[in-house]
Copies of this chain bind each other. A is one copy, B any other.
Amino acid sequence: MSVANKGFSQRSAWAADQPIGYLMHKALAHPELISLAAGFVDQASLPVEATRSAATALLQSPDMARAALQYGTCAGDDLLRSQILARLRAADGTNAVEPKLEQVVLTAGSNQLLFLLAEALLDPGDIVLCDAPTYFVFMGIVKNMGARAIGIASDEGGMRMDALRVELERLEATRELHKVKAIYVMSSFDNPRAVSLAPERRPQVVEIAKAFSREHLVYVIEDAAYRELRYAGSDAPSVLSHDRACDQVVYAGTFSKSFSPGVRVGFGVLPAPLAAAVLDIKGNFDFGSPHLNQRLVSEAMRLGLYEPHVALLRDVYRGKLAIMLEALDTYLAPLGARYLRPEGGLYVWVELPASVDTAVNAPLFERSVEEGVLYVPGEYFFSHESGVPRSFMRLSFGVQSGERIARGVQGLARAIERTLG
């Protein structure tokens, strides 16, 4: 018997055909390729010792071990939640707003928080404003809900506040402002450009969100996934720290990049009513992320193993970034490529001469594969309704060794040379 219609939901159709699937398929089918595409973290510096010590300490005491192996709560481990708030206070300074424990929700990576936020906020047809370019998984989440991501012009200081205001005014004029549920910004070393939101724009984005919260609240979702991976310059207080009333900004963080993606603990600091709504949905989803992992991260912090690990990561990635930039200077700059020189994060955003199309179905992509390299085409990071430039690519220096990064960039240079003719 065969029934053609599988009976899948509308959501299912919206969720399908994520562009990244093609890339992952390529990577799996050609394991010999040097992937400068994957957003994986450095393999050699994964916290084997720290995890071993934390696991040993955690499992040594039968009482602590049993607590970790039992169900936790939906919001997550209290101790880790306080440790997160303490770290946030330390990073943002003592004058900042002090969110309360009940505003903190632990998730499986910050990605889960983004999905839960989208569930809690977005109806089909709703709108989220984000950078152009922005994190493609976030755009996938928005699409998953049948909602729209509209790209806002963004420069080396992140989202342009004048462009944000103009877009909100336009949406108000076309009577679509009520559909705008959130403004999504990656405040530190964004994906794909490793650009940070300029300090003076941080209070502004909160003010603008407040000003346009007419029929309902327009939230600011501050994705700070890469905040701890800073290799130069100095940190600025979060967007969250400018939300005096604690009612407008969601702060999303994660230990996936700064500790281990396999442990996969992320978190959000949310306005209390939104935290409650997210927990209602999370209660149906998994009634709490794995307790053991939360206790592991908490224990690593308590034992003083976390900070030194982050310091080590900064050194490792600083070195890899330097290698990638040097290779780009040597091999790609002469071909007319331009790129940002980031102070943190895991990516370098490269703009090729306008005649070179980076899309998967354009010649360069296949030639790069022939030369042994994978990159992420820039088109994936732009919302289709906001115009998609074709000459960008994202290169990651996260997972590959220095030697392979350099070799990968050389392969890319050969592919570009062949494409430039």
Contact = CB atoms under 8 A, between A and B. Distances in A.
Interface of A: 1, 3, 5-12, 15-18, 20-21, 40-41, 43-44, 46-48, 51-52, 55-56, 59, 62, 65-72, 108-109, 111-112, 115, 119-123, 126, 137, 140-141, 144-145, 181, 210, 213-219, 245, 256, 260-264, 273-274, 277, 280-281, 283-287, 289-293, 295
Contact of A210 (B1, B15, B137): B1
B12 A137 contact: no
A109 B287 CA distance: 9
A342 to B, nearest CB: 22
Contact of A16 (B59, B217, B280): B280
Contacts of A141: 284
A9 B284 contact: no
B261 A71 contact: yes
B262 A140 contact: no
Given A1-B213, A59-B55, A292-B293, A274 B69 contact: no
B262 A123 contact: no
Nearest to A285: B115
Contacts of A120: 8-9, 11-12, 15
A215 B8 CA distance: 12
Given A43-B70, A290-B262, A291-B264, A284 B140 contact: yes
Given A48-B59, A48-B62, A112-B285, 14 more contacts: A3-B216, A5-B215, A6-B217, A7-B215, A8-B120, A9-B122, A9-B123, A12-B281, A15-B283, A41-B70, A48-B65, A55-B55, A111-B285, A111-B286
A129 to B, nearest CB: 14
A212 to B, nearest CB: 10
Integer count of this chain's copies in the complex: 2
A272 B44 CA distance: 36
Contacts of A256: 71
A256 B292 CA distance: 12
28 contacts: A3-B214, A3-B217, A5-B217, A7-B215, A7-B218, A9-B119, A9-B145, A12-B120, A12-B281, A18-B280, A18-B284, A40-B70, A44-B66, A47-B69, A48-B65, A48-B66, A51-B59, A69-B262, A70-B260, A108-B108, A111-B287, A115-B286, A137-B287, A141-B284, A262-B295, A263-B290, A290-B290, A292-B293
